[in-house]
């Protein structure tokens, strides 16, 4: 197959990790006879510096002309004092809205060799294999009115039935491919939007009798993610709760640097990015963990292009490298073999090529 991918490196370590991901995907291309065309565009602070806007028209056009988007990371102290319409984050939010990327997937998996660096006891973190299905283009993030004066501020949490239906249905479909359990998270004892959410979950659950489901309150979920994370399979929730809980859960596996994500439109078009931020403090030092970006590449292959075997090959290569005791700087204390960004990328590529 021939696929065109828009690569938005963004800021900080974004460039290093997207370079790593495209190098690995090129290796997959060689092994499985695909051709990937990389179309580079600017986003976030880099776009502000170059074009005066966090998401220039040209970047949007490049994404529209591509089969998928691969993103690095955005933001940094340099742009923190820009007016809010010009903040790097605004570029990301506009990208999500423009392409209607309403379903955000964030898998969290505990890797055995990294457990020692989890803040959780190993027996608590062991076996964690869950995925967040977060609504990404509704709720408090985009509701109107939204303003502040010097005296008062208002944000609005709005959901339309179809927005909730879409993401909830996605979660149930996904659960059918996994351990068949959905935990729907809301705050139905306080919020009206949660009451509609809960109602819709029950309607949709009725269509998936093979999937077990439960309603959980967001506050108890914040506890249970720490006390028994391995009990979760698919967690579905609205935008803001998903933001908080998925970041909370991301520490389970010992480093944010490991985690991939996908943000999808109803027709399957999507954006793939590591969960970590732009980490300006280590940018340009060849220290960043490229595995989050590389695993995002695997999600892209599987979800956007239906390349299951190819995605498996990346995920197995990553597992193998970790099992061989290699990791990047943030796992230094584990006493394994610490690699640079490019060395780690090479190791993964070698694994992929060794199966030629």
28-31 contacts, C-beta under 8 A, 24 or more apart: 28/301, 28/307, 28/310, 28/313, 28/314, 28/352, 30/353, 31/313, 31/352, 31/353, 31/355, 31/356
Among 157, 230, 282, 334, binds its own copies (CB under 8 A): 157
Among 124, 201, 291, 352, binds its own copies (CB under 8 A): 124
29 binds, among ligand IPM, its own copies, none (CB under 5 to 8 A by kind): none
Among 202, 219, 281, 312, binds ligand IPM (CB under 6 A): 219
CB 196 within 8 A of CB 161: yes
Among 2, 33, 81, 148, binds its own copies (CB under 8 A): 148
Restricted to residues 253-282, the positions that interact with ligand IPM (CB under 6 A) are none
Q: Under the criterion CB under 6 A, does residue 190 sit at the interface with ligand IPM?
A: yes
CA distance 42 to 259: 23
Task: Give the shortest CB-337-to-ligand IPM separation in angstroms.
Answer: 31
Asked about 219 being catalytic, the answer comes back as: yes
Q: Under the criterion CB under 8 A, does residue 84 sit at the interface with its own copies?
A: yes
Restricted to residues 73-92, the positions that interact with ligand IPM (CB under 6 A) are 89, 92
Cβ neighbors of 105 (< 8 A, separation 6 or more) are 131, 132, 133, 134, 174, 261, 262, 263, 264, 299, 303
CA distance 320 to 7: 27
Task: Give the shortest CB-330-to-ligand IPM separation in angstroms.
Answer: 19
Q: Which helix (H) or strand (E) holds 264?
A: strand 260-264
> Which of the following is catalytic: 62, 187, 213, 272?
187
SS3 category, 24: helix
Give catalytic residue positions.
141, 187, 219, 243, 247
Interface residues with its own copies (CB under 8 A)?
84, 87, 89, 93, 118-121, 124, 140-141, 143, 146-161, 187, 189-193, 195-197, 199, 218-220, 222-223, 225-227, 240-241, 243-245, 247-248, 250-251, 256
């Amino acid at each position: 197959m021939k696929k065109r991918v828009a690569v938005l490196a963004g800021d900080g370590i974004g460039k290093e990790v997207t370079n790593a991901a495209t190098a690995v995907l090129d290796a997959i291309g060689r092994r499985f006879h695909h051709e990937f065309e990389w179309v580079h565009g600017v986003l976030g602070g880099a776009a502000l510096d170059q074009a005066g806007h966090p998401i220039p028209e040209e970047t949007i056009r490049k994404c529209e002309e591509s089969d998928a988007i691969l993103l690095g990371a955005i933001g940094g102290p340099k742009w923190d004092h820009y007016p809010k319409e010009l903040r790097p984050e605004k570029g990301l939010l506009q990208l999500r809205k423009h392409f209607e990327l309403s379903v955000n997937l964030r898998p969290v998996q505990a890797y055995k060799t990294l457990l020692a660096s989890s803040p959780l006891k190993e027996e608590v973190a062991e076996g964690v294999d869950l995925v967040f299905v977060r609504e990404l283009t509704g709720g408090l993030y985009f509701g109107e009115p939204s303003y502040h004066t010097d005296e008062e501020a208002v944000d609005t949490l709005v959901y339309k039935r179809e927005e909730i239906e879409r993401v909830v249905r996605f979660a149930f479909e996904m659960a059918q491919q996994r351990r068949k359990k959905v935990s729907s998270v809301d705050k139905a004892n306080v919020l009206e939007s949660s009451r509609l959410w809960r109602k819709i979950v029950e309607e949709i659950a009725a269509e998936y009798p093979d999937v077990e489901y439960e309603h959980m309150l967001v506050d108890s979920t914040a506890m249970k993610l720490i006390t028994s994370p391995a009990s979760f399979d698919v967690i579905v929730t609205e935008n803001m709760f998903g933001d908080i809980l998925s970041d909370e859960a991301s520490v389970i596996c010992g480093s944010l640097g490991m985690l991939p994500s996908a943000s999808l439109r109803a027709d399957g078009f999507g954006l793939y990015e590591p969960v970590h931020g732009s980490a300006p403090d280590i940018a340009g030092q060849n220290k960043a963990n490229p595995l989050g970006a590389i695993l995002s590449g695997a999600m892209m292959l599987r979800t956007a292009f239906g390349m299951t075997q190819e995605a498996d090959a990346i995920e197995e290569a990553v597992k193998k490298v970790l099992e061989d005791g290699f990791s990047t700087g943030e796992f230094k204390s584990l006493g394994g073999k610490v690699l640079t960004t490019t060395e780690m990328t090479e190791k993964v590529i070698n694994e992929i090529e060794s199966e030629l």
